[in-house]
Structure 1
Amino acid sequence: MRKISIKIGLLFFCLIFTMEVCLFFLLHQKIAHTRIDEELSALVTRGNNHRDVLETYYNAETIQHIALMEVKSDTEVVITNYQGEIIISSTDITNEIRRLINTDKKEIHRNGQVIENDWKSKPYIASVTPFETGLDTGYVYMFKDTSQVKQLIKQLNRHFLIAGIATAIVTAIIILILSRIVARPLIKMKEATKKLSKGNFSIQLENKSNDELGELSDSIQRLANELNHLKTERNEFLASISHELRTPLTYIQGYADVAKRDHLSVSDRVNYLNIIIEEATKLTTLVTELMNLAQLDNNTFTIHKEWFPICDSLKKISKTIMPSFQEAGIKLVFICPKNYKISADPIRFEQILLNLLDNARKYSPRGTVTTVEVEQENSDLRIFIRDSGKGIPSKDLPFIFERFYRVDKSRSRDLGGTGLGLAIVKELIKAHHWEIEVSSEVNKGTTITIIARGE
């Protein structure tokens, strides 16, 4: 048995067994006191019955009959007159019986009362009932040997001991089963966490409960899934970096080797050097974007927010990017009905818009229109970037903001870019505490919505 099931079992057993012992003790005391009270009450009642007979038929034969009846029973009777002289007795008079007979009887009730109830240390329990006839007055004393009461309590104790042992055994079995049932998911979770610590994230925990254990199991499973996803993403990230670095380096090395040949014409050499410069620029851009992502991941990327008119910022962005749209034959339209103010980092805001517009330009055919529209909704600003390009398949939409993720799996370099632009956009949006939404239809276009929360 596993340690945890032993601990849980012992803990449950100690708690339940302690509770059972307390309950059994209280129940035992209650039953024992009830049985003693019943014996004392029966003793008083028997004395009252003898009194009634004496007061109705008081003669020597009646007195003898009462004594004879008690000889055949488990109780004893002693009848005395008012002065305490013994008229008749069904047993030998012992010092204890004499002591009880000589007790003060001034306040004895007509219906009798108990004069000795100490069954643990005294030889008798006893009661006395007064009687009064025309011929005589006196008392009827009833005695019962406490050994009989002790035997009764002893039997009761034996029954309780047997019941207690049986209950403890049944409790232990039930707790053993329950502790294993409770411990089983914990043991599975422990084994799962061991696998996680060793780098094995492909675990599956079955959860059939809605309690805290079920929530813990769900949390571990989610952690495993996230770690597995991160591991896959890391491997893909490293593979992508290797690919993205190797390609420009290969171009640079290859064209550098060609450019240093003596027989090349000046124009060819310049052409090769331009290619080297172009690839070096791409390499610099890639490294810069990787550094930006690293800063964002380490929370060392600072955002300096300030209030500024959004329409003025869009005009500046339009001047920057409009030539590339004109060269691509795509119309770029800005719709800003009112010069709303936005709280943002101006440089990072411009970086977000330029990245998104650059993507729209790359994936839109000539003759189409790309629109940037600003709307206000309560205290929030919504910025819509709509294009009429190739669109994004629904299966790819959840992943477009991942690093190096490309809808075009062939990794064609015709469109340029590093595959990090949208990842940086996502991190910048998060740093501003904004939201970004994407909707798209294949061959119809894509709409990206930035929701800038008001402050």
Structure 2
Amino acid sequence: MRKTLFSKHFIMVSAIILLSLVVLGAVLLTFASQYFKQDRYKLLGHNAELAATLTYSSLKNNEYQAVNARIVLPSYAVLANSIDADIYLADTNGKILLFAGGSSSEREEKEIPQEVLNAAFDKGEYEELGKMNGIYKDGHYTVGTPIYTEDGKRAAVVFVSASAGALSVFLSEILRMFIVSSLAVLILAFAGVYFTTADLVRPLRKMVAATQSFSKGDFTMRVPVESYDEIGQLAISFNNMASSLATTEVARRSFTANVSHELRTPMTTIAGFVDGILDGTIPPERRDDYLRIVSDEIKRLSRLVRSMLNIARIEAGELEMKPDLFDVNDTVIKTVFTFEQPLEAKQIEVRGLDRGKVMVEADPDLIHQVVYNLIENAFKFVNEGGYIEVNYTESDAGTAVGIKNSGDGIAKDEIPHIFDRFYKTDKSRSRDKGGAGLGLHIVRSIINLHGGDIIVRSVEGEYSEFVFTIPNPQSKARAKKEKEKEKDKDKEKEKEPPVS
């Protein structure tokens, strides 16, 4: 069975909680056991010292030869019953002289081993967890306190023994309370982990649903941003990606539709005229005219395909620039001469060609394509008897080249879209029937490839002007360094902890 992220996270966290409780329980029982033993030995030792003090007084009064049982034994009994322990007195040979039972433990009449007595006299005390050489049938805590004569001789040893079964009872009670409290904690912890995990996984599930929707071509779904943590940032990035995909999909469909339209129109024209020539519909004396139209349409298809290939190469980064120092004004003059006859036919005045040399460092062929497209565009939309003006502005940043034409101008609402692929203004549709709307897009792509920029100025009913900038090599280097610095700053900001 496939495990989901929810089940993996829930099982992992639950296992950690269970393992933590087990470790906590083991540590608690270990420390409780140690505390109980130390406390038990301390209690038994205290009572053993009290019993030894009473016994010493009786031995001293009897010159260390005997103990007055009528005086000492009742005291033993009181102390023994108060702590549920047995108190007994052994002489230096191990024989038990007095015994007061305060516990219900079964015992046998046996002597205390000599090694136990020696240990008590040598160390000044004795502690044991055992059966005291078989006196008891089960384990007991035993503490022994030696008694000496006034001249330091061994007189006797007082032993206090308590059943070790109390430890098991104590630990079982501790364990029972720990289990009950752990169950309550586990229920609360599992509930908290369940809802926390569900809340953590919910945005991811929405992202999965959105990606499934994207795979079907629907890019409208968005993931709600409920926080600004890592999941929230992921949701924001996901929504941005969805918007980018939607924009790309719209552009792709528009591109496909525009390409289909631009290819279908000339191909339909070519097919119709060729079929007319073949089936005799077009008379022989008109065939040359229609063949010229077919030739123009084929050239139009060639230009369209070439433009699309150029765009693809630029966007794929496959177009290699070959920068060189050249006179951009000379490029403009040569380009204008290619339009000499149509310019004279429309009586167009060309201004600004007498500027002299304007040296720039760029790819001459690509800049020639930019200039050609802009002058061709200016010629298409200049009014008859109007003007085309070229001007240059040189600065430390670079050289700006402006190509201006009189005419109807461009509407304000159309300027933001003028560089889009296949975009044609309403006015251009009647004048630019041979264009595909790719020239200005190629112009902007080439200028951006050089690190420059292009802007449009227009006043409706007066003029239109396209100004592109070719940056100097020094300014390119500075711009590159500034971009690198900005990237470094962005990386440092990402490393900084968020301000709470």
| Structure-1-length-normalised TM-score | 0.80
Does the residue aligned with 2:430 lie in a helix, a strand or coil?
coil
> Is residue 171 of structure 2 the alignment partner of residue 153 of structure 1?
yes
* CA distances 1:35-90 after superposition (whole Å, capped 9, x unpaired): 22222222222323334455567773552233111442312212234554433221
Label 1:95 to 1:302 Cα distance change in 2 as closer, same or farther (>3 A): farther
What amino acid is aligned across from residue 367 of structure 2 in structure 1? Answer: F
The reply to whether residue 124 of structure 1 matches residue 136 of structure 2 is no
Q: Deviations over 1:113-136 (max 9, x none)?
A: 4511469x9611111223446599
**In the alignment, structure 1 residue 138 sits paired with structure 2 residue 148:** no
C-alpha distance after superposition, 1:213-243 (max 9, x if no partner): 3333333323322222222112212222233
Task: Indicate which of 109, 112, 118 corresponds to 1:98.
Answer: 112
Which letter maps to 1:107? D
1:243 paired residue among 261, 271, 288: 261
Give the structure 2 partner of residue 37 of structure 1.
38
Relative distance call for 1:95 and 1:181 in structure 2 (3 A) is: farther
Give the letter for the 2:127 counterpart. Answer: I
Whether the 8 Å contact between 1:237 and 1:404 is mirrored in structure 2 is yes
Unmatched tracts of structure 1, length 5 or more: none
1:227 is aligned to 245
Aligned residue identity for 1:50? A
For 1:268-303, what per-residue CA distance to the aligned partner results, in whole angstroms no more than 9, with x for missing partners?
A: 88766655544443333223222333444555x442
How far apart in 1 are the matches of 2:355 and 2:161? 111
Contact kept, 8 Å, 1:394 with 1:440, in 2: the verdict is: no
Contact 2:330 / 2:357 at 8 angstroms: preserved in 1? no
Please give the alpha-carbon distance, in whole angstroms, between the structure 1 residues aligned to 2:247 and 2:193: 40
Is the contact made by 1:364 and 1:387 (CA closer than 8 Å) also made in structure 2?
A: no
Is 1:77–1:142's contact at 8 Å kept on the other side of the alignment?
Answer: yes
After TM superposition, the structure 1 = structure 2 runs for residues 253-292 of structure 1, keeping only pairs within 5 Å, are: 275-292=293-310
Residues 57 and 328 from structure 1, CA distance in 2 versus in 1: closer, same or farther, beyond 3 angstroms? farther
Q: Which residue of 1 aligns with 2:16?
A: 15
Secondary structure of 1:450's partner? strand
Deviation at 1:11, TM superposition (A): 2.0
Structure 1 letter corresponding to 2:128: E
Does structure 2 conserve the Cα–Cα contact (< 8 Å) formed by 1:335 and 1:373?
no
Q: Report the equivalent of 1:348.
A: 366
CA distance in 1, matches of 2:184, 2:172: 18
Match of 2:89 in 1: 79
Q: Equivalent residues in 2 for 1:18-417 (5 A)?
A: 18-54=19-55, 60=68, 61-73=70-82, 74-91=84-101, 94=108, 98-99=112-113, 101-102=116-117, 104-109=119-124, 113=125, 115-117=127-129, 123-132=139-148, 137-249=155-267, 275-297=293-315, 301-309=318-326, 312-321=327-336, 323=340, 327=346, 329=348, 331-333=350-352, 340-342=359-361, 344-363=362-381, 367=386, 370-373=389-392, 375-377=394-396, 381-385=398-402, 387=404, 396-408=414-426, 411-414=429-432, 417=435
Please give the secondary structure, in 2, of the residue aligned with 1:385. strand
User: 1:143-188: CA deviations, max 9, x gaps?
Assistant: 1100111111121222222233333333222222222112211111
Deviation for aligned residue 1:361: 4.8
Query: Cα offset for 1:333?
Result: 2.9
The SS at the match of 1:412 is: helix
Which position in structure 2 is the counterpart of 1:438? 455
Give the number of aligned pairs.
Answer: 442
Q: 1:304 to 1:330 in 2, by over 3 A?
A: same
State the shift of 1:8 in Å.
2.0
Distance 1:396 1:56, change over 3 A: farther
Query: CA separation of 1:250/1:45 partners in 2, compared to 1, >3 Å: closer, same or farther?
Result: same
The 1-side partners of 2:464 and 2:206 are apart by 48
CA apart distance, 1:139: 2.6
Aligned residues: CA RMSD? 4.0
Deviations 1:400-438 (A, max 9, x none): 3321023438833447522011222343345x4524243
Larger CA deviation: 190-199 vs 389-398: 389-398
**Whole-Å separation in 1 of the counterparts to 2:47 and 2:390:** 110
SS at structure 2 position matched to 1:116: strand
Q: Secondary structure at the match of 1:105?
A: helix
Please tell me the residue identity of whatever aligns with 1:43: L
AA aligned to 2:112 is R
Question: For 1:7 and 1:14, how far apart are their aligned partners in 2?
Answer: 10
Query: Identity over the aligned pairs, expressed in percent?
Result: 24
Query: Where does structure 2 lack aligned partners over 5 or more consecutive residues?
Result: 62-67, 132-136, 478-500
Counterpart-to-counterpart distance in 2, 1:69 and 1:438: 109
AA aligned opposite 1:242? S
CA distance in 2, matches of 1:400, 1:52: 112
8 Å Cα contact 2:141-2:162 kept in structure 1: yes
Q: Is the 8 A contact 1:132 1:138 kept in 2?
A: yes
* Bigger RCO (CA 8 Å, 6+ sep): 1
AA of the residue aligned to 1:235:
R
Match of 2:122, SS state, is coil
Check 1:131–1:228 CA distance in 2 against 1; reply closer, same or farther (3 A cut). Answer: same
- Answer yes or no: is the 8 Å Cα contact 1:392–1:446 preserved in 2: no
Q: Determine the C-alpha separation between the residues in 2 that align with 1:210 and 1:69.
A: 72
Q: Please tell me whether the aligned partners of residues 401 and 467 of structure 2 are also in contact (alpha carbons under 8 angstroms).
A: yes
Q: Tell me the distance in 1 between the aligned counterparts of 2:198 and 2:158.
A: 65
